[in-house]
A and B are shown apart, each in its own frame.
Chain A
Amino acid sequence: MLYRTAGQFKTSYAADHALFPVRQDAILLGVVLILAFVVFPLTASEFAFRALLIPVLIYALAALGLNILTGYAGQLSLGTGAFMGVGAYACYKLITLFPEMNIVVAIALSGFFSAGVGALFGLPSLRIKGFYLAIATLAAQFFLVWLFQKWDWLYNYSASGAIHVPNISMFGITVAGPRAAAITQYYFVLAIVCVVTFFAINITRGRIGRMWKAVRDMDIAAELVGINLMRAKLTAFFVSSYIVGVSGALFVFLWRGAAEANLFDIPLSFRVLFIAIIGGLGSILGNYLGAILIVALPVIISAVPAMLGLPLASATVEHLNVMIIGVLIITFLIVEPHGLARFWAVIREKLILWPFPH
């Protein structure tokens, strides 16, 4: 009933290819956007901004980047964390070398550094695929983290080896650094995430996206129908690493405020990969759902006992938390192996048919 498509006629091809062929989808997106732009900022506490909303957006963006590579172009990568690090360190160097540079410009540019490095480490994908490629990207992961530690120019020779975000303002408002208000940072991240998502949706729906999908489904067939494999794979690495780099810059500049090389080590890569897999490979929505499950849910669960007044020790809650999240991940993957995005798609299809069973 909620999702009744009766009466929505398409009279042109353009209408049929619209982003939202079903009107309710557009309404739903509108509701989500109103929630994100109006309701959350009005109601959320500083803790909610800093521990839930901002990290979910940033992790979702990183997963989106990985999803373009793995979900759309079918190239497995384990180097996401390191590529985020490239974005973060590039942004740090840009900001400290050119202090008057606008932070949006710095973040946008730092994506290109990451994209370049990503494309470079994507070269082996022309010869190897699957797990073998995963090992090659793993090499990128180890090499880059090692570089972040050893190349002290990257962190301006600081004794601790950590980078610190200075106070950065844009049009008179502090957007990054310790003096920035959480709500400003949230809007900043939200705006960038929305813009990148918009482009990502359109790229993946268009010519390039189809090229990637053809390569993913069967690269020999794709080559036979005239797709240039090298271009397809390298653009996938380039675009993916660009988005990952931007998310890395946001990760440090708009959220963490300080970072050391170990932060970008393999656990971060796995975390982003889990978000992409649990959310659903080959989908945009899935990244957000996955990020909510992996990033936000543990924070919420750890607050529940205190809310209910249960006298549980913090360490016990942490142990419970790990167990609950683990069980949830397994459950979701058993119920719907194609991820949360597919889960939502099934629900939506049932809703369209509802109340009829078939």
Chain B
Amino acid sequence: MKKMMKTAALSAALAAGVALALPASAQEDSIYIPNLSYRTGPFAATGTPLMNGQRDYITLLNERDGGLNGVELTYDECETGYNTEKGVECYERTKENAVVTQPWSTGITLQVLPKSNVDEIPILAPGYGFSPMADGKVFQWAFNPPSSYWDGASMILKHISEGDLDNLNGKKIALLHLDHPYGKEPIPLLQALAEQHGFTLLPIPVGLTEMQNQSAQWLQIRRERPDFVLMWGWGAMNAGAVTEAAKTRYPMDQFIGIWWSGHDGDLKLIGEEGKGYRSISWSVPVPDSQLVQDIRQYVVEPGKSLIENESELDSVFYQRGLMISAMLVEAIRAAQEEFDTQAPDAEQVRWGLENLNMDEARLEELGATGMLVPFKTSCADHTGHGGAWMLEWDGEKFVKVSDLITPDREAIEPLEKQEAEAYAAANAPWPVNEECEM
């Protein structure tokens, strides 16, 4: 008993000590890049390749170039399991020295977004988060390059209507989406476009608990016979949807996913039967690019990567992870050059993200020609709206089947502005960057 008490007291003291003295100390000669990763839980299958890509790009810079302009980049993961509660905990844990927050879930983004003005750490949410974040005047600290969900929705419609949305008149489009802030993102825009162009929108939510069993949803699809099914799915939901679509023999060429629903692993489950499935994407795997060769040479071969087999290297998601880190590193580089400092702070990195110029020339210098849509951000435009390509599953892998598609910004902008203003009003006092010219 006495011994037990002693252990109890000791562990309590230790626990209290740990708890009160947590965050690690800052280092002058490195840049701290935390990432709220998820390699566990129901979304791990899609999260892991992305995280591997992000991690390997940073490792490559440290190994090949000795960091970024001589400063080491410290990449650190904090595991969230896609759980918003854990996400906020991780945000608090890493924020002290962080130059950026990568929340990696629309739910976590929505949680940390209001804090961004107070803590003054930029949020980088490439291709996810809240679409109105594109409005840089209102969302000074949030960035979602190179395309937002509303851009994505607009581009998919543009592609399936062959350029003119009026061709969709009288058609029925189902939106199979995760019943979560992420899945609900495109609904306001799609509804507005449906009214404008005379097509019927049929949102079909998939609850978090029924991701793997979508028979009810696909029964509804079979009954309603929509002309197209768009999918905003993630994690286990993608695999569930494509297998169910194959089972119910839904024509794959009428089934189109957002960029997070184009994961090689999910489609490999059905292989040939998935032929014709399309996914819009702002990144394309280019297996023989200089960058991927360097990754192979400096990261994978010395055993410094966490990838399980070499084939992962050529997957859409792994290479997208590379591109996400590339965007971030380019922003840090821009901040270094502008402020003439080795280790820029969060505020300076914010400037870098706002003045990011990923044009074709820059991508070529990085050895990443054709891997990412070219885009450019500004203080008013935090997305860049670089557009995307359409990828199609050929039975073995995703291949690019379209030229660059650009979103119909004229239809999106008013809605974006309206939602951004509504957000700022609901969260008053919310500082707006008035200096910025549109």
Contact = CB atoms under 8 A, between A and B. Distances in A.
Interface string A244-282: 000000000000111010110100000000000000000
Given A48-B20, A178-B118, A258-B111, A297 B89 contact: no
Interface string A326-343: 000000000000000000
Interface in A151-181: 156, 158-162, 164-167, 177-179
Given A297-B15, A315-B77, A159 B185 contact: yes
A296 B19 contact: yes
Contacts of B37: 314-315
A256 B5 contact: no
B89 A51 contact: yes
A257 B119 CA distance: 14
A43 interface: yes
A160 B77 contact: no
B115 interface: yes
Interface string B43-82: 0000000000000000000000000000000001111010
A289 to B, nearest CB: 11
A102 interface: no
Contacts of B208: 262, 265
Interface in B182-208: 184-185, 187-188, 205, 208
Nearest to B48: A315
Contacts of A159: 184-185, 187-188, 419
Interface stretch (B234-242, B340-348, B394-402, B425-433): B425-433
B289 interface: no
B426 A166 contact: yes
A91 B144 CA distance: 31
Given A160-B185, A265-B208, A315-B79, A47 B110 contact: no
A257 B40 contact: no
A230 interface: no
B40 A319 contact: yes
Interface stretch (A15-23, A73-81, A299-307): A299-307
B148 interface: no
Nearest to A271: B85
Given A47-B93, A160-B184, A314 B77 contact: yes
A51 B80 CA distance: 13
A216 interface: no
B79 A318 contact: yes
Given A160-B106, A260-B181, A314-B77, A45 B22 contact: yes
A149 B184 CA distance: 11
Contacts of B419: 159
Interface of B: 1, 5, 15, 18-24, 37, 39-40, 76-79, 81, 84-85, 88-89, 92-93, 96, 106-107, 110-111, 114-115, 117-118, 130, 179-181, 184-185, 187-188, 205, 208-209, 306, 419, 423, 426-429
Minimum-distance CB pairs A-B, first 7: A178-B114, A315-B39, A160-B181, A318-B79, A314-B77, A314-B79, A51-B89
29 contacts: A44-B20, A47-B22, A48-B19, A96-B426, A149-B179, A149-B205, A156-B426, A160-B184, A164-B426, A177-B114, A178-B118, A179-B429, A256-B84, A256-B88, A256-B111, A257-B111, A258-B111, A260-B110, A262-B180, A263-B84, A303-B18, A303-B19, A304-B18, A314-B77, A314-B78, A315-B39, A315-B79, A318-B81, A347-B1
